[in-house]
Every structure is written in C-alpha cells, then in structure tokens.
Structure 1
Amino acid sequence: MGALLQCSFGLAPSSLVVLPKNKVMGEGPPAANIMDHIPMVNIMPFGMCNSPANPTVAAATAAALGVLTPMPCIPATSAPWVPGAATVMLGFMPSLDNVSKCMCNWGGVISINNPATTKTMIP
C-alpha cells in the first residue's frame, strides 16, 4: 500500500492501493500480492497517457492531423504483476516485490519506483 508506481506511457506517478483482503500488513499498511492489479481499485491513473495504442489517444491524434495528443490515463491492466516473490506467498499467491512489473493493455509497463516498505522481514 502506498508504493510509488510509474507507467512508461504515463506522464505522472501513481500510488498502489491495496485492500486488506489478505489480512497481512507490511510495516503498517496492507501488503500486496501479484493479483493486486485491478484498474481503478489497485492501480490509479498516471495523469495523461502517451500510448498510440490507447484508443482515446489514437482518436485525439487523428483529430489533430497526426500530432501525438495525450489523453487522460485510464489504466487497463488485465494481467497480474510478474514475476512477484515466488518464495513469499501472500493469500496463496506470490507477494509483490519491488522488481515486479505489470503490463497495461495499451503497451505501457508499470513499475514500482518506491516500494513504500523497506524493513519488512520474515521471522
């Protein structure tokens, strides 16, 4: 919860939102697993989107006679984060770690810039 995310086609960072459904906390807030990839629930918008594969960007670019025109970001993440930490299970799924990536349907790669938790250790 609270990890700083960045999309390769987004213009602004975003924050990871984790619901407490797994009942595991990481230094206070809920900890995430690879299934915490739901758009507008876990992954919030990244400001404006620059991806020409995004239909709204493509339409705006066509209307501007081919000049790339960014449009508001609406994340489209249908696949889980990969690879996750396979040795640390959280709710029967690998936990999310700082090297995991999530793919947006419009071609963007979402990465974790700041994991927000750095001292969590397993006893």
Structure 2
Amino acid sequence: MGIQVTAGTTLQCSFGAAPGTLGVLPANRVLSGAPAATIMDHLPMVNVMPFGMCNCPANPMVAAATAAALGALTPMPCVPVTAAPWVPGSPTVLIGGLPALQNSSKLMCSWGGVIQIVAPAQFTTMVP
C-alpha cells in the first residue's frame, strides 16, 4: 500500500536537473495540514512545477538549442507538458470521487520524461 501524497511533495523528472514540487489546490480536498492530491493534479505550472533545466532531446527547445550548438546537447529551462493524469492512483481511496495520488504513482511528460515522487510531504512517525 502506498503513502498518500499531499501538497509540497518533492518530484523529480528523469530528464530534469533539479527537483520540483507538487502543488495542490484546496478545492474538494481532504485537509490534514496540507491538501491531499488526486491523479488529476497534473497540470503544468499549477500542480507540477519546473525541474530546472531539461536534458531531453525530444523537447523542442532543447532540440533547437542543440541544433544551434552544432549537435552538442544544450539543456534548456524545463516547462513540464503533462497532458494525462498520474497512474496508477489508489485503488481504495477516493478524494472528491477521484483516486488519491500515492507515492508509487508516475506522470509522463509529453517530451519524454517520467515524473516520479521522491519524497511525499506527509510522513508517518512512530513515537516510542
């Protein structure tokens, strides 16, 4: 069973140079300190923040800069393009009628990267 994900979770793209964060709007959400995320929290620049510089040759900005540099891979600023929702969502937990996002979920960027959850913002701590 996965860990439920909330706003502030750290994300990483396979072609990104730096980690990003997950933003979750508080509408129709469970509030336990931070809004809980669903699989539909995938919008670029709203839910998924940039990952520094992008190294993916399928990204048109990287391709253009690489061509201008005579074939030397030239990273460009990351602007995530995430058209589809996170997969898989929680099979048992629904938030506002949508599957909850969990730490094992992945998100595909249209430029070829795979975005994954590195550190959920919600942790369970054991007190002795």
Partner of 1:22: helix, strand, or coil? coil
Structure 2 counterpart of 1:24: 30
Question: CA deviation digits over 1:69-113, x for unaligned, max 9?
Answer: 000000000000000112100111100000000000000000000
Q: Percent identity?
A: 68
Q: TM-score, normalised by structure 1?
A: 0.94
- Partners of 1:86 and 1:35 lie apart in 2 by 14
Structure 1's consecutive aligned runs of 4 or more residues displaced over 2 angstroms after TM superposition are none
Match of 1:110, SS state, is strand
Aligned to 2:15: 9
Equivalent residue letter for 1:48: M
Extract unaligned runs of 5+ from structure 1: none
How far, CA to CA, are the matches of 2:29 and 2:12 in structure 1? 26
The answer to whether structure 1 residue 47 and structure 2 residue 52 are counterparts is yes
Is the strand fraction higher in 1 or 2? Answer: 1
Any idea what the Cα deviations from partners look like across 1:20-70, whole Å, max 9, x if unmatched?
Answer: 012312x30100000000000000000000000000000000000000000
The whole-number CA distance in structure 2 between the counterparts of 1:81 and 1:71 is 25
Contact 2:42 2:85 in 1 (8 A): yes
Q: Any stretches of 5+ residues in structure 2 without a counterpart?
A: 1-6
From 95, 103, 106, the equivalent of 2:111 is 106
Pairs within 5 Å for 1:29-40: 29-40=34-45
Partner of 1:60: 65
- 1: CA distance, partners of 2:22 / 2:71: 34
Count residues with an aligned counterpart.
Answer: 118
Residue among 86, 93, 98 paired with 2:98? 93
TM normalised by structure 2 equals: 0.90
